[in-house]
Amino acid sequence: MVGTINEFNLGGNMLTVRDKAPDFVLEGYVNDSIKTFKLSNYKGKWVVLFFYPTDFTFVCPTEVIALSKAREDFKKLGAEVFGVSTDSVYSHQAWSKELGELNFPLLSDFNKQISHQYGILDDEKGVARRATFVINPDGEISWLVVSADSVGRSVNDLLRTLEALQTGKLCPADWQPGEKTLN
């Protein structure tokens, strides 16, 4: 996919690496309850914020379940994981019951403000693009990827990327945890 942000019909201006991650206060569903989550409460931690188009679709549940299964791996790396879509918190609640217990919150950006602020809102469809942001402990975006709605993300590559970022060093292509970094 090659084109400009306008050609992809993305809302707002897309953020990039080293930008300050916009704070948010969103309702989310986790562990059989609805809670409020504020990004600034996680300052000092790594945060994986992944946006997905909608609940009750084909590709999205594969990603959500894979990320949930890898929760302990993210936890070992000191990272909090949040899923975000423009569905309501009640949709997340119903979908979670269908998927089974999830190990991280699904946040509701029902008014589409956060998707717009992060620059990944598809204005035409009214949903978030499939996008992942890794936010460092200082609250800055360290890594991001936006992909076609039809292609799910690799949890293994996300974990590898998070670990590479945490080295604070130069990591070559296909670097794997435990391998040498570049000087």
What positions carry a catalytic annotation? 60
The string over 135-172, giving b where at least 16 C-beta atoms fall within 10 Å of a residue's C-beta and e elsewhere, is bbeebebbbbebeebeebbebeebbbbbbbbbeeeebe
- Tokens linked to 26: 């969103």
Instruction: Decide if 93 contacts 69 (C-beta within 8 A).
Output: no
Q: How far apart are CA 173 and CA 160, in angstroms?
A: 11
Q: How far apart are CA 13 and CA 72, in angstroms?
A: 33
Q: Which amino acid is at 169?
A: K
